[in-house]
Amino acid sequence: MVRTHLAAQFLSVFGAGLALAEPVQLTPIELPIEATALTPHVVADAAKQRFLLSWQERLPEGCARLQVATLSMAGELGEAREVARGCDWFVNWADHPQIAVADNGGWWAFWLQKEGAGTYHYGIRVAHSQDEGATWSAPITPHDDGTLSEHGFVSMAPDGADRMRLVWLDGRHAAASHPAETDLQEAHGAHEGDMSLRAAVLDASGAIREGVELDARTCSCCWTALLRRPDGSHLTAWRDRSEHEIRDIALATRERSGWQVTGLVHADNWKINACPVNGPALAQHGERVFAAWSTMPNANDMAVRLRALGTETTPLRVEQGPAVLGRVDAEAFDGGVLLSWLGAGAPGESVLRLGLFDAGLSERQRIDVAALPAGRGIGVPRLAALGQTAVLAWTEPNGAAVAGAPAPTRLRAVRLSAGDD
């Protein structure tokens, strides 16, 4: 295994190509994006051999907008296109928008919009574009419960030419058990009330089909994961919540007969009476699916784990310790799996790390990408891969906070290439 440490010098040399030990190269990507940008998401557009990068920007007077741009395989950013904007959005470091590409090449995006006066009265808005972001459809709301509650932590995956499959966390049960806004606020703060996992399919006409509840009781604020497998089936992962407050990662598969909950990624038996705000990631390599997640095997240490599903092997412990934050993402890459996470660094810091593993989960390379101040302000780094090229994007602080305003942030990204690419 090759270890490469870049965190100490990364920011000072940003903009210069950085050659790593073979077979991987890491090159910073210039992102001329507004200084108020945050919550990046990146996805591969395989048909066009490029990536799409989306992000939010904070605007004056509490407003925000969602932007998207193409990103070439060489790391060149295209013109930013505005998806939507509003002054009633829910902008959050962990529950944030995404972009996806349908089978017909259409772009799909979602954002979160307030539906009531309460902090956690917000819903999902989905729009699509058939002209590469020049124009966008009227937004679609995939949930029809009508409750003033949370709806978010969405994952999307294509499901046909002009269809997109979604899973999300839904707060209708929590709203029913805590009808008063003050009760709902207190319940969220105390991690009470039952969030559920729901799924549906949206098409370009605005129709909503196959709405179904997959799990009536989930962890309240851990993001979800969803992928489409080569045979057209879908696999989703989320953090479950048992009646005894065990919060392990669960799986469900959708085939022609419908959704079926298939069990746990691994029985970690993590008992915690709170939400750790740490969701799973899924990556597909050929017929094999890899799952990555964070758990706490004892009272002091967070552990990042990686496993090939459908095997009897013990999950790989990637990193463990009291200063590990987790926040994983994973993509198939270079014949194996590429993993990103926030690991331990100097006191008060987290180190954004990349790990490259072969199909048998032997570690080939580990890269310290950037040293960042530990906390929510650095958000959730996001990965995407296409062939021998991958992109990692994240948020970092950008100056001192001003009283009464959110701390300024900016986006960073790197391009990872394997072999002679």
Spatial strand order in the sheet of 107-114: 98-101, 107-114, 122-129
Residue 33 covered by a domain: yes
Backbone angles phi, psi at 330, to 5 degrees: -150, 145
Residues 318 and 265 in one domain: no
Residue 72 covered by a domain: no
Residue entry with tokens 């391009």: 415
Domain count, the chain: 2
Amino acid (one-letter) located at 153: F
Which residue among 224, 256, 279 closes a domain? 279
Residue entry with tokens 């989703």: 236
Residue 26 covered by a domain: yes
Residue 61 covered by a domain: no
Question: Is 33 in a helix, a strand, or coil?
Answer: coil
Residue 66 covered by a domain: no
Strands 195-203 and 163-170: antiparallel
Residues 265 and 313 in one domain: no
Backbone angles phi, psi at 185, to 5 degrees: -60, -45
Spatial contact of 270 and 284, defined as CB atoms under 8 Å apart? no
Which residue among 279, 313, 346 closes a domain? 279
Q: CA 38, 20, 50, 292 torsion: positive or negative? A: negative
CA separation for the pair 229, 155 (Å, rounded):
15
Range(s) of the domain holding residue 203: 88-279
Spatial contact of 191 and 171, defined as CB atoms under 8 Å apart? no
Spatial contact of 125 and 115, defined as CB atoms under 8 Å apart? no
pLDDT of residue 19: 41
CA separation for the pair 386, 332 (Å, rounded):
8
pLDDT of residue 178: 61
Supply the CATH number for residue 220's domain.
2.120.10.10
Mean pLDDT by 10 residues, the chain (421 residues): 47 38 81 88 98 96 96 97 98 96 98 95 98 98 95 97 97 78 52 86 96 97 97 97 97 95 97 96 95 93 96 93 97 96 97 96 96 94 97 90 78 90 52
pLDDT of residue 21: 42
CA separation for the pair 2, 205 (Å, rounded):
50
pLDDT of residue 7: 47
pLDDT of residue 54: 98
Tokens of 316: 């790989």
Spatial contact of 86 and 64, defined as CB atoms under 8 Å apart? yes
CA atoms within 13 A on the CB side of 240: 23
Tokens of 392: 């990692």
Whole-model pTM: value is 0.92
For 314-348, letters b (16+ CB in 10 Å) and e give: ebbebbbeebbbbbbbbbbbbebbbbbbbbbbeee
Residue 268 covered by a domain: yes
For 299-310, letters b (16+ CB in 10 Å) and e give: eeebbbbbbbee
